[in-house]
């Protein structure tokens, strides 16, 4: 058994027991990153020196008999839109290419207090805007299952790093599906907790009312472990929930009794790829065979329409893009070339010219598109037609979920309409790219927790994900339900060919 | 000059920005302090680093509510924070956290004392809380520097209705507001430190015959002193009338609202080139902050902290203490001065005598120092003691002035000071009687005039009193001396 085979929890246990040194683990993974990341490009930066230093500190703690944290010596990747006070925080943008944050995110603090060893910052779509990680100023990340395909996005770097076994686990952020969709594309577990469950302090804001940090891991148990560590109230984030964090690991292996699995009728239509639909029906039957009851539920305002040309549309997508882009246009206003970040090297005519040039040079096309659309929808005369209406739709979407959860404990849904697509396949048509989020965004709009886990593999050996959605603060039950499937189906710790011993792409 | 037959009424509304006197900033824990080296009170939050989040300063909200409630405003149960978007180098996030459609305070009024003892009621439209911007410093020809010490300082914007009709009313309103926010401890309201800034809106209603003409509403931006405010308003009233006389199209219906700047040097307002497009601030609710829910308990506790307001206290002083309008007004310029008086009265002193001391020597020293009466440093105990000593005839009024001066200079118990200075009146009856007898013996003429009861009686008695004072070196207690003369020369000698 290789060190790589150990899950985060197993590795932490081995380090605590003295069977594996933290430095040994760090060296091993740094070596794996060096060997594999040239192809995958999951990382924007790797920090070997600091990682080894931190690992040595863990070993020293153990040697001195000091208590170790639950992630002692576990190498972890952190999405590059979560600020660290070491290295850079770039958001995969030219705008922040040279940016050193003077402070660190709350989640970074919590990881390190738990003994985790942060090895580097993972790639993303610029400012988390995208569904394929192709919108990175530093080049795309590739899917370890097929290097010609995208890893999904925007947390594509974190998902690919975990899938390629370059780290046992990583942090991502999810505004409209940015943890769950790449997790599905890369065959790993991705968890977006309830809005406010994890502090956003230090997460570079995209859509503030939707953003949430969560883990990407090889199995549900590791996702539960990481969530337990990063979750909890933070006085520095006024939107973080002041509700106690349950022990998500308690009874994790114990199947839930009398579980009611809801299947939203609106999600199982011709819009969904047939093979994915079949895999999800199989997953539902697996639950049924373990005593769960299947119920059909309705989410009318999240329904997906297909027109005569086969073009998909959805209220939720429209609502999401109005809310997210409006917030983004305001959140990204601070990147102006005045205080930090990219400033145009041209001699500006005046301050307006400085702003315009710096932003035009610093932001990529997708970011510019979203800032412009968001600026438009917030403009005088359009506010009520767009933003205000979107807030009303958002309320209706939330109400649908509330009603559905009267009948079901957990909803079983697709994550994305297809499996991982090819690089370049959707870059020409932003709208098609936006529809990647069609099954995930309602969860963000309603502030709910959503768990993405592998359901199986396609005929072409690409991972197919499934999504479990629960009511607000139902993390514990959701993770148990996910674990229940993992154990019943045996679909977990999927490992692409390139990540196997001696495996080469 | 107003032409014969024109009836011109000025309508002036005022926006007043008041920096609140909190220990820390509105949304972070940096110190709220003026005058320190640039960018020494800054942190990732107030300089708008990526990933930061604001956390509301509850104290600032309370101070803002306190001002609102003192202005008789409603404090709605639900208010929220909005982002006001505009690009400026002193605004690190390029949006300002403010309150748009649901401010903390709405629909109040301030009764403004005017010079003639009357009051003028000015309605308050709203008062909302926001964060201040930093400062651009243009000291270098090649570049602009930015100081963000002020960025994020809590700023209360109080918006009045256009209820003021003259420069005098505008000035009185602005000063009354300054007095109020100081009174409440909500702001130091120091003009030199930029704690208060004004933006008046001015237009004229001109009645000529049966017709009513309204000039465009002009907003004058960023006035930093009372003088600038008064000059700008006076200038605008004049200028708008002149312009209307010259140009009949200079009316509200055609031109709407306009902005003008103020040239401090020349004392004139200047036209500001219209922006190519109107400012669109793209307000929307700040998703980083929870709405502020004000429940009855919170509102009541803030209301209870307000206490007596200046005009109510002035009325009380006139009624309960029998002070004149001028005296009562002088003692209610700030809360601590009145508190000093009230405490001395509570210690058993006579209000009128305390007032005489406060408005006499103490006020003179305050005037010299340019501070308030309370800030001179006389304590309520000293004040009460002095007043009582005067009342009991233990010191003379003249001596009390000298003791106050000593008390201010070196501090301490007035009685001890009076003894040290030999200012304590002699009340020993043996000594007094000896001086009275000496005066009577040495001045038979005066005694005769007193006893005759004629026209010269009063003057003669004064002369005898003066002799005793002279013999005693000014230390004889006058009331007792008078008693002795009465006893020896009969009841006429009073």
Model confidence pLDDT, tens digit, residues A188-206: 999 999 999 999 999 999 9
Statement to judge: residues B75 and B113 lie in one domain: yes
Taking only the tens place, the pLDDT of each residue in B250-306 is 888 888 888 899 998 898 999 876 544 457 899 999 999 999 999 999 999 999 999
Q: How far is A377 from chain B (nearest CA, A)?
A: 9
Which among B24, B51, B97, B133 is the top mutation candidate for probing chain A, defined by the most A β-carbons within 10 Å of its own β-carbon?
B51
- Nearest-by-Cβ selection for A101 from B50, B95, B290: B50
Which among B47, B53, B89 is the top mutation candidate for probing chain A, defined by the most A β-carbons within 10 Å of its own β-carbon?
B53
Domain-located, residue B303:
no
What pLDDT sits at residue A117? 98
Statement to judge: residues B193 and B144 lie in one domain: yes
- Nearest-by-Cβ selection for A333 from B94, B146, B287: B94
Which chain B residue is nearest to residue A339, measuring alpha carbons?
B92
Q: How far is B278 from chain A (nearest CA, A)?
A: 10
Residue B484 pLDDT greater than 90, yes or no? no
Mean pLDDT on A432-461: 94
Whole-angstrom distance, CA of residue A47 vs CA of residue A39 = 19
Is-contact A150 A133, C-beta < 8 A?
Answer: yes
Domain-located, residue B209:
yes
B48 to chain A: which residues are within 8 Å by CB?
Answer: 334, 339
Which has the minimum average pLDDT: A136-140, B127-131, B393-397? B393-397
Domain-located, residue B457:
yes
Q: How far is A282 from chain B (nearest CA, A)?
A: 40
Range 278-297 of B in CB contact (< 8 A) with A: 280, 282-284, 287-290
Burial code (b: 16+ CB inside 10 Å, e: under 16) for A476-503 equals bbbbbbbbbbbbebebbbbbbebbeeee
B52 to chain A: which residues are within 8 Å by CB?
Answer: 103, 201-202
Q: Is B84 an 8 Å CB contact of chain A?
A: no
What pLDDT sits at residue A26? 98
- Mark yes or no for CB contact B55/A202 under 8 Å: no
Domain limit, last residue, from B243, B277, B297:
B297
Number of Cβ within 10 Å of residue B468's Cβ equals 23
Residue matched to tokens 């370049």: A424
Is-contact B126 B182, C-beta < 8 A?
Answer: no
Mean pLDDT on A60-78: 96
What pLDDT sits at residue B276? 42
Domain-located, residue B482:
yes
Domain-located, residue B239:
yes
Domain-located, residue B401:
yes
Whole-angstrom distance, CA of residue B204 vs CA of residue B187 = 33
C-alpha angle A391/A393/A395, rounded to 5°? 70
Q: How far is A312 from chain B (nearest CA, A)?
A: 30
A96 to chain B: which residues are within 8 Å by CB?
Answer: 50
A175 to chain B: which residues are within 8 Å by CB?
Answer: none
Helix (H, G, I), strand (E, B) or coil at A154: coil
Statement to judge: residues B143 and B281 lie in one domain: yes
- Nearest-by-Cβ selection for B48 from A334, A352, A378: A334
Statement to judge: residues B313 and B366 lie in one domain: yes
ipTM of this predicted structure: 0.95
What pLDDT sits at residue A78? 98
CA B73 to mean position of chain CA atoms = 20
- Mark yes or no for CB contact B94/A89 under 8 Å: no
Phi, psi angle pair for B10, to nearest 5°: -90, 140
Q: Which residue has the higher pLDDT, A283 or B141?
A: A283
What pLDDT sits at residue A505? 37
Range 281-300 of A in CB contact (< 8 A) with B: none
Whole-angstrom distance, CA of residue B92 vs CA of residue B150 = 11
Mean pLDDT on A299-306: 89
Rounded (10°) angle between helices B429-442 and B478-489? 60
Statement to judge: residues B292 and B313 lie in one domain: no
Q: How far is A226 from chain B (nearest CA, A)?
A: 21
Q: Is B182 an 8 Å CB contact of chain A?
A: no
What pLDDT sits at residue B492? 57
Give CATH 3.90.1300.10 domain extents, chain A. 3-253+449-499
- Mark yes or no for CB contact A339/B92 under 8 Å: yes
CATH topology of domain A3-253+449-499: Amidase signature (AS) enzymes (3.90.1300)
Q: How far is A351 from chain B (nearest CA, A)?
A: 8
Taking only the tens place, the pLDDT of each residue in A76-98 is 999 999 999 999 999 999 999 98
| CB-defined contacts A:B, below 8 A | 99
- Mark yes or no for CB contact B282/A375 under 8 Å: yes
Residues 6+ apart with CB under 8 A from A39: A142, A147, A498, A505
Q: Is A238 an 8 Å CB contact of chain B?
A: yes
Whole-angstrom distance, CA of residue A59 vs CA of residue A187 = 32
What pLDDT sits at residue B395? 81
Residue B24 pLDDT greater than 70, yes or no? yes
Domain limit, last residue, from B236, B265, B297:
B297
Statement to judge: residues B438 and B415 lie in one domain: no
Domain limit, last residue, from B420, B451, B477:
B420
What pLDDT sits at residue A503? 47
Instruction: Kindly state the percentage of chain A with pLDDT values over 70.
Output: 99
Question: Cis ω on the peptide bond leading into residue B252 (within 30° of 0)?
Answer: no
Statement to judge: residues B185 and B251 lie in one domain: yes
Taking only the tens place, the pLDDT of each residue in B437-453 is 888 888 888 888 888 87
Residue A15 pLDDT greater than 70, yes or no? yes
Q: Which residue has the higher pLDDT, A349 or B277?
A: A349
Statement to judge: residues B71 and B159 lie in one domain: yes
Taking only the tens place, the pLDDT of each residue in A94-106 is 999 989 999 999 9
CA A106 to mean position of chain CA atoms = 17
Number of Cβ within 10 Å of residue A406's Cβ equals 9
Q: Is A334 an 8 Å CB contact of chain B?
A: yes
What pLDDT sits at residue A299? 95
Q: Is B83 an 8 Å CB contact of chain A?
A: yes
CA dist list (Å): B113 to B160, B165, B200, B419: 16, 15, 19, 44
HSE at residue A336, side-chain half, CA atoms within 13 A, is 24
Pairing of strands B154-160, B119-131: antiparallel
Domains identified in chain B, total number: 3
CA A385 to mean position of chain CA atoms = 31
Which chain A residue is nearest to residue B287, measuring alpha carbons?
A209
Which among A338, A342, A375, A379 is the top mutation candidate for probing chain B, defined by the most B β-carbons within 10 Å of its own β-carbon?
A338
Radius of gyration of chain B (CA): 31
Whole-angstrom distance, CA of residue A423 vs CA of residue A130 = 13
Instruction: Kindly state the percentage of chain B with pLDDT values over 90.
Output: 56
Which residues face A217 on adjacent strands?
A169, A189
CA dist list (Å): A447 to A193, A205, A401: 9, 16, 10
Residues 6+ apart with CB under 8 A from B36: B149
Q: Judging by beta carbons within 10 Å of its beta carbon (0-12, 13-18, 19+), is residue A13 exposed, middle or buried?
A: middle
- Mark yes or no for CB contact A101/B49 under 8 Å: yes
Confidence of residue B150 (pLDDT cuts 50, 70, 90): very high
B94 to chain A: which residues are within 8 Å by CB?
Answer: 333-334, 336
User: Nearest-CA neighbor of A433 among A2, A129, A79, A47?
Assistant: A129
Which residues face B201 on adjacent strands?
B13, B219
Is-contact A132 A152, C-beta < 8 A?
Answer: yes
Average pLDDT of chain A? 95
Confidence of residue A153 (pLDDT cuts 50, 70, 90): very high
B290 to chain A: which residues are within 8 Å by CB?
Answer: 238-239
CATH number at residue B447: 1.10.10
- Mark yes or no for CB contact A102/B94 under 8 Å: no
Domain-located, residue B175:
yes
What pTM, to 2 d.p., does this model score?
0.90
Strand runs labelled E in B114-236: 119-131, 135-137, 145-147, 154-160, 196-208, 211-214, 217-220
Q: Which residue has the higher pLDDT, B484 or B120?
A: B120
- Nearest-by-Cβ selection for A238 from B87, B94, B289: B289
Which chain B residue is nearest to residue A107, measuring alpha carbons?
B51
Which chain B residue is nearest to residue A199, measuring alpha carbons?
B53
Q: Is A206 an 8 Å CB contact of chain B?
A: no
CA dist list (Å): B198 to A18, B26, B74, B171, B181: 69, 21, 23, 11, 15
Statement to judge: residues B267 and B396 lie in one domain: no
Which has the minimum average pLDDT: A143-157, B123-137, B166-180, B418-432? B418-432
Mean pLDDT on B410-436: 80
Taking only the tens place, the pLDDT of each residue in A374-430 is 999 999 889 989 999 999 999 999 999 999 999 999 999 999 999 999 999 988 888
Q: How far is B250 from chain A (nearest CA, A)?
A: 27
User: Nearest-CA neighbor of B256 among B191, B332, B201, B338?
Assistant: B201
Which residues face B112 on adjacent strands?
B120
A203 to chain B: which residues are within 8 Å by CB?
Answer: 51
- Nearest-by-Cβ selection for A380 from B54, B280, B289: B280
Q: How far is A240 from chain B (nearest CA, A)?
A: 10
Statement to judge: residues B111 and B257 lie in one domain: yes
Whole-angstrom distance, CA of residue B164 vs CA of residue B177 = 14
Residue A185 pLDDT greater than 60, yes or no? yes
Residue A458 pLDDT greater than 90, yes or no? yes
Whole-angstrom distance, CA of residue A119 vs CA of residue A93 = 20
Residue B474 pLDDT greater than 70, yes or no? yes
Number of Cβ within 10 Å of residue B36's Cβ equals 11
Q: Is B49 an 8 Å CB contact of chain A?
A: yes
Whole-angstrom distance, CA of residue A472 vs CA of residue A48 = 39
Residues of A classed as catalytic: 79, 154, 178
Rounded (10°) angle between helices B335-346 and B380-391? 50
**Residues spanned by the domain of B168:** 6-297
Which H/E stretch holds residue A217? strand A212-217
Which chain B residue is nearest to residue A196, measuring alpha carbons?
B288
Helix (H, G, I), strand (E, B) or coil at B280: coil
Q: Is B51 an 8 Å CB contact of chain A?
A: yes
Statement to judge: residues B47 and B157 lie in one domain: yes
- Mark yes or no for CB contact B290/A239 under 8 Å: yes
A352 to chain B: which residues are within 8 Å by CB?
Answer: 87
Statement to judge: residues B72 and B210 lie in one domain: yes
């Amino acid at each position: 058994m290789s060190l790589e085979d150990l899950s985060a929890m197993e590795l932490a246990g081995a380090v605590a027991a003295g069977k594996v040194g933290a430095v040994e683990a760090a060296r091993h993974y740094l070596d794996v990153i060096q060997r594999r990341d040239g192809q995958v490009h999951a990382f924007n930066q790797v920090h070997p020196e600091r990682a080894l230093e931190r690992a040595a500190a863990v070993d020293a703690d153990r040697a001195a008999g000091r208590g170790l944290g639950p992630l002692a010596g576990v190498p972890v990747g952190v999405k590059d839109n979560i600020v660290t006070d070491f290295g850079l925080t770039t958001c995969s943008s030219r705008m922040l290419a040279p940016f050193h944050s003077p402070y660190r995110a709350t989640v970074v603090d919590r990881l390190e207090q738990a003994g985790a060893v942060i090895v580097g910052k993972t790639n993303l779509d610029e400012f988390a805007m995208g569904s394929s990680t192709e919108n990175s100023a530093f080049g795309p990340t590739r899917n370890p299952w097929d290097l010609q395909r995208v890893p999904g996005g925007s947390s594509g770097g974190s998902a690919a790093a975990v899938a390629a076994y370059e780290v046992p686990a990583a942090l991502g952020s999810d505004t409209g599906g940015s943890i769950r969709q790449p997790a599905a594309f890369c065959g790993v577990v991705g968890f977006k907790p309830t809005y406010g469950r994890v502090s956003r302090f230090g997460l570079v804001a995209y859509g503030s009312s939707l953003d949430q940090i969560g883990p990407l891991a090889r199995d549900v148990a590791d996702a539960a472990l990481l969530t337990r560590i990063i979750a909890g109230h933070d006085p520095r984030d006024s939107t973080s929930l002041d509700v106690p964090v349950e022990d998500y690991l308690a009874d994790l292996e114990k199947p839930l009794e009398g579980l009611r699995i809801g299947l939203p009728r609106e999600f199982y239509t011709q819009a969904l790829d047939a093979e994915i639909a079949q895999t999800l029906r199989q997953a539902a039957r697996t639950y049924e065979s373990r005593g769960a009851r299947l119920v059909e539920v309705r989410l009318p305002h999240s329904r997906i329409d297909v027109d005569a040309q086969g073009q998909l549309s959805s209220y939720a997508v429209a609502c999401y893009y109005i809310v997210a882009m409006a917030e983004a246009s305001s959140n990204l206003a601070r990147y102006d070339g005045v205080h930090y970040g990219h400033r145009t090297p041209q001699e500006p005519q005046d301050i307006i010219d400085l702003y315009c040039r710096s932003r035009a040079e610093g932001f990529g096309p997708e970011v510019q598109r979203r800032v412009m659309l968001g600026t438009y929808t917030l403009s005088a005369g359009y506010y009520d037609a767009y933003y205000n209406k979107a807030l009303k739709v958002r309320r209706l979407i939330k109400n649908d979920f509330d009603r559905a959860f009267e009948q079901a404990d957990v909803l079983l849904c697709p994550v994305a309409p297809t499996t991982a697509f090819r690089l370049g396949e959707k870059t020409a048509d932003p709208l098609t790219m936006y529809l990647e989020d069609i099954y995930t965004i309602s969860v963000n709009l309603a502030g709910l927790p959503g768990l993405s886990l592998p359901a199986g593999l396609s005929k072409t050996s690409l991972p197919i994900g499934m999504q479990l959605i629960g009511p607000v603060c139902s993390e514990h039950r959701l993770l148990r339900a996910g674990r229940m499937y993992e154990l019943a189906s045996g679909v977990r710790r999927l490992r692409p060919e390139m990540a196997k011993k001696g495996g080469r792409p | 000059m107003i032409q014969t037959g024109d009836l011109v009424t000025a309508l002036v509304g005022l926006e007043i920005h008041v920096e609140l006197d909190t220990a820390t900033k509105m949304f972070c824990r940096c110190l709220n302090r003026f005058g320190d080296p640039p960018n020494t009170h800054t942190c990732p939050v107030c300089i708008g680093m990526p990933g930061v989040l604001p956390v509301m300063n509850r104290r600032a909200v309370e101070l803002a509510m306190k001002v609102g409630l003192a202005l008789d405003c409603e404090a709605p149960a639900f208010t929220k924070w909005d982002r006001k978007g505009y690009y400026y180098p002193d605004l690190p996030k390029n949006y300002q956290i403010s309150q748009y459609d649901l401010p903390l305070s709405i629909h109040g009024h301030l009764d403004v004392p005017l010079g003639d003892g009357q009051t003028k009621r000015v309605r308050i439209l709203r008062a909302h809380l926001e964060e201040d911007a930093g400062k651009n410093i243009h000291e270098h020809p090649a570049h602009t520097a930015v100081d963000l010490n002020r960025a994020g300082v809590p700023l209360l914007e109080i918006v009045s209705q256009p209820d003021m009709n003259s420069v005098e009313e505008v000035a009185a309103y602005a000063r009354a507001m300054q007095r109020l926010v100081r009174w409440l401890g909500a702001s130091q309201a120091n003009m030199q430190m930029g704690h208060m800034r004004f933006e008046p809106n001015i237009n004229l209603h001109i009645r000529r015959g049966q017709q009513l003409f309204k000039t465009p509403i002009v907003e004058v931006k960023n006035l930093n002193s009372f003088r600038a405010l008064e000059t700008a308003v006076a200038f605008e009233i004049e200028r708008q009338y002149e312009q209307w006389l010259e140009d009949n199209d200079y009316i509200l219906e055609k031109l709407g609202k306009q902005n003008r700047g103020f040239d401090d040097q020349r004392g004139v307002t200047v036209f500001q080139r219209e922006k190519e497009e109107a400012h669109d601030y793209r307000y929307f609710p700040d998703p980083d902050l929870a709405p502020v829910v004000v429940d009855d308990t919170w509102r009541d506790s803030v209301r209870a902290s307000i206490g007596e307001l200046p005009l109510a206290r002035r009325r009380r002083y006139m009624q309960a203490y029998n002070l004149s309008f001028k005296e009562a007004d002088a003692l209610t310029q700030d809360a601590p001065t009145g508190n000093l008086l009230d405490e001395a009265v509570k210690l058993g002193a006579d209000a009128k005598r305390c007032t005489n001391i406060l408005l006499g020597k103490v006020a003179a020293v305050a005037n010299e120092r340019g501070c308030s009466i309370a800030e001179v440093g006389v304590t309520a105990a000293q004040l009460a003691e002095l007043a009582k000593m005067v009342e009991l005839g233990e010191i003379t009024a003249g001596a009390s002035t000298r003791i106050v001066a000593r008390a201010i200079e070196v501090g301490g118990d007035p009685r001890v000071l009076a003894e040290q200075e030999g200012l304590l009146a002699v009340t020993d009856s043996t000594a007094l009687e000896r001086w009275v007898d000496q005066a009577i013996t040495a001045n038979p003429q005066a005694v005769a005039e007193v006893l005759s009861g004629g026209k010269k009686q009063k003057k003669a008695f004064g002369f005898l009193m003066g002799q005793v004072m002279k013999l005693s070196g000014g230390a004889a207690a006058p009331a007792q001396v008078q008693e002795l003369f009465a006893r020896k020369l009969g009841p006429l000698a009073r």
